[in-house]
Amino acid sequence: MSASRQSQRQAVTEFDLNRFLEESTAQVNRTLDRALPSERTRPATIHKAMRYSLFAGGKRMRPALCLAAAQACGGQIADALPLACAVECIHTYSLIHDDLPAMDNDDFRRGKPTNHKVFGEGIAVLAGDALLTQAFELAAQCRGWPRYAHQDVVLELARASGSLQLIAGQVADLEGEGRRISVADLRYIHERKTSALLCCSVRLGGMSANCTAARLKALTQFGYHVGLAFQVIDDILDVTQSSEKLGKTAGKDTAAQKATYPAMVGLEKSRKIAQQLTDKAFAALKPFKGRAVALESLAGFLLNRDC
Ligand code: GRG
């Protein structure tokens, strides 16, 4: 076993990740609940729809990565929380829109009927729009730090979710359906539709802790590789797990003739690629000299997850 894999295992066993995830999820849920208008606030339909998807039981991995990065850099959870929640709002908006008939046309997400199935397509589009806007309202609450002005935080979120990253990934994904694409094209899609927002989560955590430029660079490398590994695992789970376990329709990629790592290189090689990407993520944390244990543990968890 390589040294990095050995230390991955050690980190996972010594750190109480379940407790960290329970606490971070509770803090994120409380902050989101306070930030969003109540279900009764007029117009009630839109606030019900926003809350329906936001509190449907997502894994809250992006906020956890944001808070873990802040912790690794010696920051305060209170400073990182609005940003962790902002990223979750953007993530949830992207899922609502991705599930629409005009895109992936999915009936289930997070173990429940998709937003448009419950509220109709018009309201689902608006719920996604409102969550994206809510993200920037949350980000507006952070005060900025000596190394990172308020505008750096806003830019970070805007760039990760804009037409060069998240949306670019979705466009390339849509245009790639049913067509033969290269592994390089697949990497382009994964970098944008998945890795960009995960990387942004980690970077925002570091920025909220006023981290040094060297640490931000290390976090960027970590987030980039964890993000890529996350999508390779997501593709593997799509063909190896049931819809019940995933809380979303399994086997959709094959049905839509989507390019995925399992389809292009097989399951075994895909698992190897996910492990190699996680090794690279792990190696990026070297400058933290063992103080990024929550991030290390999360990287191991994301690699070995089954849903
Ligand atoms: C901008 C409409 C739009 C879409 C952007 C994010 C996205 C592209 C599409 C959504 C579907 C998809 C396969 C995204 C890739 C990232 C990913 C694997 C999302 C699922 O994330 P999880 O597993 O979900 O963290 P939960 O529900 O646990 O939060």
Q: Atom of ligand 1 at shortest distance to CA of 166?
A: 5
pLDDT value of position 45 = 98
Q: What is the mean pLDDT of residues 185-210?
A: 98
Please report which helix (H) or strand (E) contains residue 112, including its range.
Answer: strand 112-113
Q: Is the pLDDT of residue 10 over 70?
A: no
d(CA 144, CA 178): 45
* CB-based contacts of 177, cutoff 8 Å, min separation 6: 256, 257, 258
Ligand 1 pocket test target in 98, 104, 191, 200 with most atoms within 8 Å of CB: 98
Structure tokens at 212: 């040094």
For residue 255, what pLDDT is reported?
A: 84
Q: What is the pLDDT of residue 6?
A: 56
Nearest CA to ligand 1 atom 19: 194
Q: What atom in ligand 1 is closest to the CA of residue 60?
A: 29
| pLDDT at res. 280 | 98
Contact 135, 86 (CB under 8 A): yes
Mean pLDDT on 86-101 = 98
pLDDT band at 186 (very low <50, low <70, confident <90, very high): very high
- Quote the CATH superfamily of domain 12-303: Farnesyl Diphosphate Synthase (1.10.600.10)
Pairwise CA distance, residues 66 & 207, whole Å: 10
List Cβ neighbours of 145 (8 Å cut-off, separation of 6 or more).
79, 207, 208, 209, 210
CA of 296 to the centre of ligand 1 (A): 22
How much is the pLDDT for 7?
52
Mean pLDDT of the region 238-252: 93
- Per-residue model confidence (pLDDT) at position 221: 98
Residue 5: the pLDDT is: 58
- Per-residue pLDDT, 89: 98
Pocket, ligand 1, Cβ cutoff 6 A: 58-59, 61, 91, 94-95, 97-98, 110, 166-167, 169-170, 193-194, 231, 234
For 198-240, the pLDDT digits (tens) are 999 999 999 999 999 999 999 999 999 999 999 999 999 999 9
Q: Is the per-residue pLDDT at 61 higher than 60?
A: yes
Structure tokens at 273: 């690629």
**For residue 39, what pLDDT band results from cuts at 50, 70 and 90?**
very high
Is pLDDT at 13 greater than 80 in this prediction? no
Quote the pLDDT of residue 9.
53
Predicted model pTM: 0.95
**Facing residues of 114 across strands?**
none
> Cα torsion for 39, 40, 43, 47, to the nearest 10°?
-10
- Ligand 1: residue of 66, 88, 91, 175 to mutate (most ligand atoms within 8 A of CB) is 91
Please determine, for residue 8, whether its predicted confidence score (pLDDT) is greater than 80: no
Whether the per-residue pLDDT at 297 is higher than 70: the answer is yes
Q: Which residue has the higher pLDDT, 190 or 7?
A: 190
Angle at 67 between CA 169 and CA 288, to 5 degrees: 95
Provide the pLDDT for residue 14: 74
Mean of all residue pLDDT scores within the chain: 95
- Convert the pLDDT of each residue in 121-152 to its tens digit: 999 999 999 999 999 999 998 889 999 999 99
pLDDT at residue 290 in the model: 92
Which phi and psi angles does 164 have, rounded to 5°? Answer: -100, -15
Task: Return the pLDDT at 106.
Answer: 95
Return the number of other C-beta atoms located less than 10 Å from residue 307's C-beta: 12
What is the 14 CA–ligand 1 centroid distance (Å)? 30
Query: Rounded to the nearest whole angstrom, what is the distance from the C-alpha of residue 195 to the centroid of ligand 1?
Result: 10
Atom of ligand 1 nearest to the CA of 96: 2
